[in-house]
């Protein structure tokens, strides 16, 4: 299992566009991907679930990945966050 934490720097938080992007990248992998914030954990492959976290600017999210392609999945998600969520 891999776990990474990220701080959301966007003034709009984790809104529809980045939630959809994250879910789309997560769906490319077979590993179980979950995202947590403030004690809540939701499936990372669900944009609606990600929106239910109500992540605001400055909140820390945890990405939890478990499965055969967990390393590739984490690389893909990290790339998304670094390149698209500036």
Domain residues for 58? 2-84
Q: Which helix (H) or strand (E) holds 20?
A: helix 16-26
Dihedral-angle region of residue 39 (phi above 0 means left; psi in -120 to 50 means alpha; beta otherwise): left
For 83, the token pair is 């390149």
One-character DSSP codes across 59-80? -EEEEEEESTTHHHHHHHHHHH
Among candidate residues 15, 34, 56, 59, the one labeled active-site is: 15
Total structural domains within the chain: 1
What is the three-class DSSP state of 54? coil
User: CA-to-CA distance for 67 and 71, rounded, in angstroms?
Assistant: 9
Q: What is the pTM of this model?
A: 0.91
The pLDDT tens digits for 34-61 are 999 999 999 999 999 999 999 999 999 9
Look up 15 and say whether it is catalytic: yes
Residue 31 sits in a domain whose CATH number is: 3.30.1340.10
The pLDDT tens digits for 5-45 are 999 988 899 999 999 999 999 999 999 999 999 999 999 99
């Amino acid at each position: 299992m891999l776990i990474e934490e990220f701080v959301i720097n966007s003034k709009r938080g984790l809104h529809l566009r980045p939630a959809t992007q994250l879910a789309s990248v997560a769906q490319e992998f077979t590993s179980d991907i979950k995202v947590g914030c403030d004690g809540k954990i939701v499936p990372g492959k669900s944009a609606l679930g990600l929106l239910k976290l109500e992540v605001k600017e400055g909140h820390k999210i945890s990405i939890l990945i478990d499965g055969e392609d967990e390393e590739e999945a984490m690389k893909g998600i990290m790339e998304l966050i670094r390149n698209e969520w500036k």
